[in-house]
Amino acid sequence: MILSKNNLTSVNNSNVNVPAENILLLPEKVLQFGTGVLLRGLPDYFIDKANKQNIFNGRVVIVKSTASGGADAFATQDGLYTHVIQGIEDGKRVEETLINASVSRVLSAQSEWNEVLNCAANPAMEVIISNTTEVGISLLAEDKITAAPPVSFPGKLLAFLHKRYEVFNGAADKGMVIVPTELLVDNGKKLEAIVLQLAKNNNLSEDFITWLTSANYFCSSLVDRIVPGKLPAEQQKTVEEKLGYEDALLISSEPYRLWAIEASSEKVNNALSFAKADSGVIIAPDINVFRELKLRLLNGTHTYSCGVAVLAGFLTVKEAMENKMMSAFISNIMLNEIVPVIAKGAITKEMANDFANKVIDRFRNPYIEHKWLSITVQYTSKMKMRNLPVLLKHYEENTSVPQYMALGFAAYILFMQTENVDGKFVGSNINGNYTIEDDSAALLHAIWQANNQSTIVNAVLSNTDLWGSDITKLNGFEEAVNHYLQSLAVNPTATIEQLILK
């Protein structure tokens, strides 16, 4: 049996949250550019949850960039898909399975562009969501809205908005709330600027441009949820056997969810009423607090820990969290060294600790295989962007050495000790060799070639090309990093243990 609206009543698994049939009759209120798992696992999850609570009462029309090309799983399954949520929340295991009924239909921009534009004539339409990758929010100056379809995502968006303006004669109450989820800072502001430029490039009227800026709301947003791609074939088969039906669109995710949307307008709050269904949706005038928490506590801890973990032989984050000493290292650097630095101003200590504890739960998720080597991609730039500002802030208020940060820097330097093998920079640990993916790999290789183990720390930390400043000037930091590097080179596991038990 394949999941579809005709088979919903045949789903007899008591562990599956099955939508009521009336949900399938709700009006289309959202236009979504992108079919990816993040959109289906986060925004569409919130919309579905709100619909089931009789709050939002609207469904999603998805626009995909490619032609259907024959049988399509979305059409076969009437837009329905299973969402399996597994992980740790508040220190406890969570397992939930639901059938998401938020998607009304999927249209191909290539072959069904007129149908996409027809959605602009739907008075119930209120919201536009996108996830077209970071490259998607870029200006293609020559893009024409008269094309079928325009080439770029901003071009398609502008064509839709212009069509809506024409259909409703520029009515102020028919503007849209536009929420991009692409991983760019100020993604809403950047998208708005591009759309405005394209409007001018297309010689659109001043009246339209006034309506575009006054009746429509471009909201920057931040998304955070791990939603892995399609399950491996064997795991998919096992899950389907438990469910009692086949589902080619099945996705899984962790329990944690955050969609922070920057807005202060009453219209935006009303249009995004699904936020009332789940505390994971936050609508606030300024979302920089949430960006800072994520950058420093989640991303920053990952970056401080990845070199330590790789050198100690851990393959995944889950595996490291199962080790008492490595888990303590990760928790201590986050709670005892990063939190005290960032818990200032708008970020309270309670807020930072709460976020940190949620991150620890996420790291412990037994269902997600997050490889440490993947986290080391562009290791140098991540250390500079995510961690150096926290280190410098620490020294603005303290003279003591942050020992866990020092060990993190030492692990970074030792991890970047490589051999040039056919143009690739290859390092080694107790598990064997690893290939480094880092734009600064050649520079670090050259620094290592010009130094030995006793001088390398000074050479790296004093390199202003890498850091923009001389880190050796921080009181006692160079000495601590040098101590840990010498120790890691002998025995990484023992080094971690010595620090934890110090």
The CATH number of the domain holding residue 235 is 3.40.50.720
The string of pLDDT tens digits covering residues 434-480 is 999 999 999 999 999 999 999 999 999 999 999 999 999 999 999 99
Q: Which of 284, 310, 340 is the last residue of a domain?
A: 284
Domain-terminating residue out of 256, 284, 312:
284
Angle, CA 176 vertex, CA 170 and CA 180 arms, to 5°? 140
Q: Specify the pLDDT at position 231.
A: 81
- Whose tokens are 């930390």? That residue is 461
Provide DSSP, 185-231: TTHHHHHHHHHHHHHHHTT--HHHHHHHHHH-EE--EEEE-----SP
Q: Tell whether 254 and 292 lie within a shared domain.
A: no
How many CB atoms sit inside 10 A of residue 25's CB? 9
274 with 313, same domain: the answer is no
What is the pTM for the complete model shown? 0.92
For residues 342 and 297, give the distance between their C-alpha atoms in angstroms, rounded to a whole number.
9
Please name which of 370, 372, 369, 358 lies closest in space to residue 94, comparing C-alpha atoms: 358
Length of the chain: 502
Residue 111 Cα distances to 69, 106, 179, 363, angstroms: 10, 12, 25, 42
Residue 53 has pLDDT above 60, yes or no: yes
Parallel, antiparallel, or unpaired: how do β-strands 281-284 and 258-262 relate?
parallel
Q: What is the CATH number of the domain that holds 358?
A: 1.10.1040.10
> Considering its fold, how many domains does the chain have in total?
2
- Domain check: are 280 and 360 in the same one? no
Instruction: Give the pair of three-digit tokens for residue 145.
Output: 């809205």
Q: Are residues 264 and 313 in the same domain?
A: no
Q: What is the pLDDT of residues 341-369, one digit of tens each?
A: 999 999 999 999 999 999 999 999 999 98
127: left (phi over 0), alpha (psi -120 to 50) or beta: beta
Tell whether 227 and 307 lie within a shared domain: no
Interval 298-338: pLDDT, tens: 999 999 999 999 999 999 999 999 999 999 999 999 999 99
Asked if pLDDT for residue 134 goes beyond 80, the answer is: no
Cα–Cα nearest to 100, from 61, 54, 44: 44
Q: Does 240 lie in the same domain as 170?
A: yes
Q: How far is CA 296 from CA 59, 195, 390, 395, 421, in A?
A: 35, 32, 8, 16, 34
Q: How much is the average pLDDT of 192-217? A: 98
Q: Are residues 166 and 296 in the same domain?
A: no
Last residue of a domain, one of 250, 284, 318: 284
Give residue 46's pLDDT.
Answer: 98
Q: Label residue 22 left, alpha or beta by phi (over 0 means left) and psi (-120 to 50 means alpha).
A: alpha
Pairing of strands 221-224, 217-218: unpaired
Q: What is the DSSP string of 439-471?
A: TTHHHHHHHHHH--TTTHHHHHHT-HHHHSS-G
> What is the arithmetic mean of pLDDT over 475-502?
95
What's the mean per-residue pLDDT of the chain? Answer: 96
> Nearest to residue 436, comparing CAs of 463, 413, 409, 461?
413
Judge whether residue 71 has pLDDT over 60.
no
Question: Exposed, middle or buried, 173 (CB in 10 Å: 0-12/13-18/19+)?
Answer: exposed
Per DSSP bridges, beta strands 92-100 and 81-89 are antiparallel
Q: Label residue 68 by pLDDT band (50, 70, 90).
A: low
> Using CA atoms, how far apart are residues 392 and 157, in angstroms rounded to an integer?
42
The CA distance from 24 to 29, in Å, is 13
Q: What is the rounded average pLDDT of the residues 90-115? A: 96
The DSSP secondary structure of 363-382, one letter per residue, reads HT-TT---BHHHHTTTHHHH
CA–CA dist 17, 49 (Å, integer): 11
- Asked if the model's pLDDT at residue 214 lies above 90, the reply is yes
pLDDT grade for 218, boundaries at 50, 70 and 90: very high
Quick one: pLDDT at residue 66? 74
pLDDT of 377 strictly over 60: yes
Quote the pLDDT of residue 65: 84
Q: Are residues 249 and 311 in the same domain?
A: no
Whole-Å CA distances, 482 to 273, 288, 420: 54, 35, 24
Asked whether the bond before 285 is cis by omega within 30 degrees of 0, the reply is no
**Of 123, 85, 120, 127, nearest in space to 102 by CA:** 127
pLDDT at 67: 66
- Nearest 5°: phi and psi at 105? -165, 165
Model pLDDT, residue 385: 96
CA angle 282, 285, 287 (to 5 degrees): 60
Q: Provide the pLDDT for residue 502.
A: 77
Same domain (yes/no): 325, 188: no
271 with 292, same domain?
no
Q: Residue with structure tokens 């709670």? A: 335
294 in the same domain as 198: no
Stronger pLDDT, 502 or 449, i.e. the higher one: 449
Range of 49's domain?
5-284
Check whether residue 159 and residue 203 sit in a common domain. yes
Structure tokens given for 393:
């802030």
> Residue 501 has what pLDDT?
87
pLDDT higher than 80, residue 4: yes
